[in-house]
Amino acid sequence: MNARWTSVAPGVVQVDPLSISWWDDFAANWPQATVFHSRAWARTLVETYAFSPRYLLLNEEDQPRSALPLMEVDGWWRGRRGVSLPFSDYCPALARSPDDLTRLMEAVMRMATARGWRSIDYRGPVDAGSQAQPQTSYYLHTVDLKGDEKELWSKLRPEVRRAVQKARKSGLELACGGGDEQLSALYRLQTITRRRHGLPPQPGKFFRVLQRNFLKQGGGNIVTVHNHGEPVAAALFLHFAGRALYKMGASDMRFQSWRPNDLVMWEGIRWCRDQGCHELSLGRTDLHHEGLRRFKAGWGGCENIVQTYRYHTDAGTYVEGADMLNGVHNHLFRMMPTPMLQWAGAMLYRETA
């Protein structure tokens, strides 16, 4: 066993994927692997928020067999806790069997006791024998990218094809890349969009770290639409092991009638396919967000329900979570000047992991 690995339970060790050169090769072999299982995502979380990687690896004859990505989050609001993984739409354990998943989760419980965690969050299935109640449920849309561009176009709903064609005819200009100009446009539009929803944006540092770990390494792209040089819509796409992710989309509602979001998404789909990706996840959607659900359903993908789980260590049980996105704070965030809203994101976003 590697000297830097810490034994947590029989056959299970704690590891840091950033110190394991073969981690991405190991993770990429799993059909359930996503961008969130990559070293680049782990590095992004560590460098932006100073979370501590505490991934669990189940070994068999000193060979890695199954794994559970996990970060320790220490905050003033919810205390110290384990999250698998922070700010990740869906991040299931890489487990060969239900028994492997049970062993990994038993090891998590041991770690929680040793580390004094108040809770454990899972962004994927948990041990079937735990009788766990989900904290929250979401829609998850996935687009199959196999086939040529004509086939992908034919899968779109008629109203979506019309929207893309309208955007093309409107004179909007497309730009793709991961440079500073694209990054600044995405951050500005994301701030506008988050304010519209009554929420602060992700910290500016998060975007710069994403640029360093994904965009400059060929693992991502920002698609931007301009009107006479002014960015009016943008979206971030990431990929790992042949699977792409639509991580975020943002726009200026003043130009919504020209359908720039539809043009951004279509160009993003084309780009992901050109990278050799065979599927694109459009991310999770709240069950009550019918507008976003309709938008994602229009791209010819499949829709599934995914669930997250929260285990409170003091109570010794899984609990349903309250919706912390809605409340009086939404009105306050909508009223904030842009610099103050961005400051709030830098100060508070980490606590929502």
The pLDDT assigned to 76 comes to 85
The pLDDT assigned to 312 comes to 93
Tokens standing for residue 150 = 């004509």
The pLDDT assigned to 309 comes to 95
Q: What is the mean pLDDT of residues 132-149?
A: 94
Domain count, the chain: 2
Show Cβ contacts of residue 129 under 8 Å, excluding neighbours closer than 6 positions.
Answer: 102
Average predicted confidence (pLDDT) for the chain:
93
Identify the band that residue 75 occupies on the pLDDT scale cut at 50, 70 and 90: confident
Domain membership of residue 342 (yes or no) is: no
Same domain, 17 and 108: yes
* Higher pLDDT pick, 134 / 321: 134
Same domain, 127 and 145: no
Asked if pLDDT for residue 128 goes beyond 90, the answer is: no
Q: How far apart are the first and last CA of the chain?
A: 32
Asked if pLDDT for residue 18 goes beyond 90, the answer is: yes
CATH number of the domain that residue 256 is part of:
3.40.630.30
Asked if pLDDT for residue 1 goes beyond 60, the answer is: no
Identify the band that residue 2 occupies on the pLDDT scale cut at 50, 70 and 90: low
Tens of pLDDT, residues 154-190: 999 999 999 999 999 999 999 999 999 999 999 999 9
User: What sign results for the dihedral spanned by CA atoms 320, 91, 148, 220?
Assistant: positive
Domain membership of residue 99 (yes or no) is: yes
Same domain, 254 and 144: yes
Tens of pLDDT, residues 317-350: 998 865 566 666 788 989 889 989 999 999 999 9
Same domain, 69 and 12: yes
Same domain, 283 and 233: yes
Same domain, 178 and 89: no
Which of 75-89, 233-247, 270-284 is predicted with the least confidence, judged by mean pLDDT? 75-89
Same domain, 31 and 61: yes
Q: What secondary structure does DSSP assign to 90-117, as a single string? A: ----B-SSHHHHHHHHHHHHHHHHHHT-
Q: Is the pTM value of this prediction over 0.85?
A: yes
Range of the domain at 31: 6-132
Identify the band that residue 302 occupies on the pLDDT scale cut at 50, 70 and 90: very high
Q: What kind and span of H or E run contains 227?
A: strand 220-227
Q: Cα–Cα distance between 272 and 279 in angstroms, integer?
A: 8
Tens of pLDDT, residues 238-271: 999 999 999 999 999 999 999 999 999 999 999 9
Q: Cα–Cα distance between 19 and 43 in angstroms, integer?
A: 11
Q: What is the mean pLDDT of residues 101-111?
A: 95
Domain membership of residue 312 (yes or no) is: no
The pLDDT assigned to 325 comes to 61
Distance set, CA 164 to CA 44, 111, 263, 347 (Å)? 33, 50, 5, 38
The pLDDT assigned to 331 comes to 85
